[in-house]
Amino acid sequence: MSAFTNFAKRSLHISVQIAKYGAIIYCTTHCITEYVVDFTRCTGPSMMPTIHNDDVVLTEHISAKFTHKVQRGDIVIFKSPTNPRQFMCKRVVGLELDRVPYNSAWKFIRSSHIPKGHIWVEGDNYSNSSDSRTFGPVPFGLLRGRAVYKVWPVERIGPLPAAPNR
């Protein structure tokens, strides 16, 4: 065999190995960020002072996707009920079958209770937040994850408080 043929075979073998390991790394990373944990950048003033504009939080997906074990006081990331291309970051104020908070301006109220399979969310910046008071209860199916730890910027690193700082 010529030196060129040997080189071509080795190069092809190396390329196949790189592609194989690249696919494994990609699939593993996708599964981890989709089903276990990822980072989310929160924008807007609705969660201030707990989360500032452009803060990055660590978000776990297990409790939201598999067990629906979110609790009152948790900060959740969910698909916006009014714009499915946008994700929102709010605090859980009510769980399914709880009474709708009395100060709700929710216009489409059919019952005084949060429907089964839904949660009630509000921003910590109560006067500057688009939340369940305007779009109603959020279905569990729109939940992406639960924010557990602030990771950026460095001066604000730490666990997220369980109660709003109103």
Whole-number Å distance between alpha carbons of 140 and 104: 20
Between CA 14 and CA 26, with CA 20 as vertex, the angle to 5 degrees is 130
The active-site residue, picked from 2, 11, 46, 127, is 46
- Whether 116 sits among the annotated catalytic residues: the reply is no
**The 3-state secondary structure of 1-25, one letter per residue:** CCHHHHHHHHHHHHHHHHHHHHHHH
- Whether 79 sits among the annotated catalytic residues: the reply is no
The active-site residue, picked from 11, 80, 90, 150, is 90
Whole-number Å distance between alpha carbons of 55 and 31: 24
Looking at the annotation, which residues are catalytic? 46, 90
